[in-house]
């Protein structure tokens, strides 16, 4: 039976005590601090998850003293849509926040009635709410939010939980750059490797890296993956630093630490796609009331952190919230997880999928477009440039050419047990007809039940593209690429693609 924290004091009594300035250390201990450590662009490449080329002692320690989820998945494989989902405990498709970096222009996105960001709920319950980057001293940076909807910045009291009142519990988010440490080119790889060497005395050897079979075995791709693993080591060190601070300040024993990434590795088939490399993430929870040394292999969605955190704090979980308290004693495990990918920057897309314990079903709404559509962000990465050059030179094998398919199947079905790299699409195999139809119906039901808001309006696209064009980070070369891609998206739309 899973354990669940039960407050020693009724919530209303605690708030009244806090308002009157009478909160005692005992009352504070009754409600744990909740600390989210959220990492950018990183898959489950930690030694507790089976990575053998590096050691990650601090995350491993969290897993040893807490609960590790081996089958945790995001509902969106890109930053802003993912973050919009977990901060509300809602599918991004249900709240209209599913287009990456949307609502940033003249047209805004507002949350549906009854849907609220989790920090607001903690704040109303008497918690000090904080969000920060790491490491930065003093912690004056409020950290990454990247939400696609309009929100009140006052829902965060500040960047550092040490500013709270005596006896007041805190809800905090620490944002780490994770896989972004390695940058997008050789210079970025060099910097993160040198930093790892200066801290650990060595860095990952590119010659020892093992790449997935759908990537070219190339020197640059090996250097990138080695630098990525060094960024995992740096992330693990920062986790250790955070835990050390909690212990130093006397907060460790009463703090539930939740460690998670916002999606998988930023690579050609990872970030932005619904394959395992983009969806599968680490999720480790440790602290008071959390069962220690437990590895759970049931399917969980990243939005569930919203509900379980409220549950740990004794705060009522909103009835409309789609997240589930996976730590509750009466929790019934999911039999499938659902995910969606939509527009990423200027690149228009719509993909939906579901994953059971063994099978993955993916539906492509724009099958006439190439699998790897032009995208200014991804195309700037040297690993993608290397893959494209190899494709144009005819140097890729059949598996690697999947990345550059000129069109896509409307449906994809993979047997993850026998095909963990999702290479053999079974959708057209007669033996799997019944399974394909069953999973397709299940996806249809989810889309209808959760009120998936589907394609973006032309007006919203134009509004956000205007914001992209006006960005200070767009130089003339990048601006030309952006305009070319926008024009291509519009051309394909008029052609019915």
Distance CA 269, CA 89 (A): 26
Residue 79 lies in a domain: yes
Cα–Cα distance, 180 to 160 (Å, whole number): 23
Question: 47, exposed or middle or buried, with CB in 10 Å at 0-12, 13-18, 19+?
Answer: middle
My answer on whether 60 and 197 are in the same domain is yes
**Is residue 462 domain-resident?**
no
Residue 120 Cα distances to 85, 129, 171, 204, 308, angstroms: 15, 8, 10, 42, 16
Note whether residue 3 is domain-resident: no
Structural domain contains residue 4: no
Same structural domain, 391 and 329: no
Task: Judge whether 178 lies within some domain.
Answer: yes
Q: Is residue 467 part of a domain?
A: no
Domain encompassing residue 371: 341-455
CA distance to 80, 208, 214, 265, 382, per residue, from 204 (Å):
30, 8, 22, 17, 19
In terms of domains, do 274 and 384 share one? no
The stretches of 376-457 forming alpha helices (DSSP H) are 376-379, 382-392, 433-449
Number of folded domains that form the chain: 2
pTM above 0.85, yes or no: yes
Same domain, 244 and 218: yes
Residue 425's CATH number:
3.30.1120.10
Round to the nearest angstrom and report the end-to-end CA distance of the chain.
51
Q: Is the preceding omega at residue 135 within 30 degrees of 0, hence cis? A: yes
d(CA 273, CA 347): 13
Nearest to 291 by CA among 27, 69, 20: 69
Q: Is residue 469 part of a domain?
A: no
Same domain? 266 vs 316: yes
Instruction: Check whether residue 317 and residue 375 sit in a common domain.
Output: no
Do residues 159 and 15 share a domain?
yes
Taking only the tens of pLDDT, the chain with its 497 residues reads 233 333 333 444 344 334 434 333 344 447 999 999 999 999 999 999 999 999 999 999 999 999 999 999 999 999 999 999 999 999 999 999 999 999 999 999 999 999 999 999 999 999 999 999 876 555 666 899 999 999 999 999 999 999 999 999 999 999 999 999 999 999 999 999 999 999 999 999 999 999 999 999 999 999 999 999 999 999 999 999 999 999 999 999 999 999 999 999 999 999 999 999 999 999 999 999 999 999 999 999 999 999 999 999 999 999 999 999 999 999 999 999 999 999 999 999 999 999 999 999 999 999 999 999 999 999 999 999 999 999 999 999 999 999 999 999 999 999 999 999 999 999 999 999 999 999 999 999 999 999 999 999 999 999 999 999 998 778 899 999 999 999 999 999 999 99
Distance in angstroms (rounded) separating the CA atoms of residues 178 and 42: 6
CA distance 192 to 178: 11
Contact, 340 vs 91, CB < 8 A? yes
Report the distance separating Cα 56 and Cα 233, nearest Å.
6
Residue ending a domain, among 315, 333, 351, is: 333
Q: Are residues 345 and 297 in the same domain?
A: no
Q: Are residues 371 and 242 in the same domain?
A: no
The answer on 348 and 324 residing in a single domain is: no
Residues 310, 352 within the same domain = no
Task: Determine the Cα–Cα distance for residues 388 and 401; give it in Å rounded to an integer.
Answer: 10
For β-strands 337-341 and 351-355, DSSP reports them as antiparallel
CATH of residue 187: 3.40.720.10
351: left (phi over 0), alpha (psi -120 to 50) or beta: beta
Q: How far apart are CA 88 and CA 322, in angstroms?
A: 9
Predicted pLDDT of residue 52:
97
Domain final residue, candidates 333, 357, 373: 333
Query: Of 267, 298, 333, which marks where a domain is finished?
Result: 333
Three-state DSSP state, 68? strand
Residue 471 is assigned to a structural domain of this protein: no
Residue 381 φ/ψ, nearest 5 degrees:
-80, 135
Q: 183 with 254, same domain?
A: yes
């Amino acid at each position: 039976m899973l354990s669940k924290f039960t407050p020693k004091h009724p919530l209303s009594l605690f708030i009244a005590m806090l308002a009157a300035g009478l909160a005692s250390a005992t009352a504070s201990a009754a409600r744990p601090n909740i600390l989210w450590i959220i990492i950018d662009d990183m898959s489950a490449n930690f030694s507790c998850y089976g990575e053998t080329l590096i050691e990650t002692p601090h995350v491993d320690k969290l897993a040893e003293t807490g609960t590790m989820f081996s089958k945790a998945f995001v509902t969106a494989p890109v930053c802003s849509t993912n973050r919009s989902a977990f901060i509300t405990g809602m599918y991004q498709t249900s709240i209209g926040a599913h287009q990456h970096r949307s609502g940033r222009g003249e047209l805004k996105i507002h949350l549906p009635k009854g849907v609220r960001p989790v920090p607001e709920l903690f704040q109303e319950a008497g918690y000090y709410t904080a969000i920060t980057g790491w490491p930065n001293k003093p912690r004056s940076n409020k950290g990454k939010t990247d939400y696609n909807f309009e929100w009140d910045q006052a829902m965060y009291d500040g960047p550092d939980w040490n500013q709270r009142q005596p006896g007041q519990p805190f809800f905090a988010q620490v944002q780490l750059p994770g896989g972004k440490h390695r940058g997008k080119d050789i210079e970025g790889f060099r910097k993160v490797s040198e930093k790892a060497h200066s801290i650990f005395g060595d860095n990952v050897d590119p010659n020892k890296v093992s790449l997935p079979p759908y990537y070219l075995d190339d020197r640059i791709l090996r250097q990138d993956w080695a630098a990525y693993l060094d960024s995992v080591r740096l992330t693990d060190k920062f986790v250790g630093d955070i835990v050390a601070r909690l212990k130093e300040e006397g907060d460790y024993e009463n703090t539930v630490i939740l460690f998670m990434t916002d999606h998988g590795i930023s690579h050609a088939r990872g970030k932005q796609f619904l394959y395992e490399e983009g969806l599968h993430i680490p999720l480790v929870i440790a602290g008071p009331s959390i069962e220690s040394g437990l590895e759970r292999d049931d399917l969980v969605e990243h939005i569930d952190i919203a509900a379980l955190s409220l549950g740990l704090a004794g705060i009522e979980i909103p009835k409309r919230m789609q997240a589930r308290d996976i730590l509750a004693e009466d929790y019934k495990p999911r039999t499938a997880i659902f995910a969606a990918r939509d527009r990423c920057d200027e690149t228009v897309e719509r993909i939906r999928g579901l994953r059971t314990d063994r099978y993955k079903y993916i539906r492509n709404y724009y099958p006439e477009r190439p699998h790897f559509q032009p995208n200014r962000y991804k195309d700037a990465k040297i690993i993608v440039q290397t893959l494209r050059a190899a494709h144009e030179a005819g140097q890729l094998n059949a598996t690697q050419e999947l990345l550059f398919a000129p069109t896509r199947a409307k449906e994809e079905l993979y047997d993850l047990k026998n095909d963990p790299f999702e290479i053999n699409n079974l959708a057209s195999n007669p033996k799997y007809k019944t399974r394909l139809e069953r999973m397709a119906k299940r996806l249809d039901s989810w889309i209808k039940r959760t009120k998936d808001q589907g394609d973006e309006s032309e007006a919203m696209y134009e509004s956000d593209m205007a914001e992209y064009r006006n960005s200070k980070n767009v130089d003339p070369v990048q601006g030309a690429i952006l305009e070319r891609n926008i024009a291509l998206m519009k051309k394909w739309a008029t052609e019915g693609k």
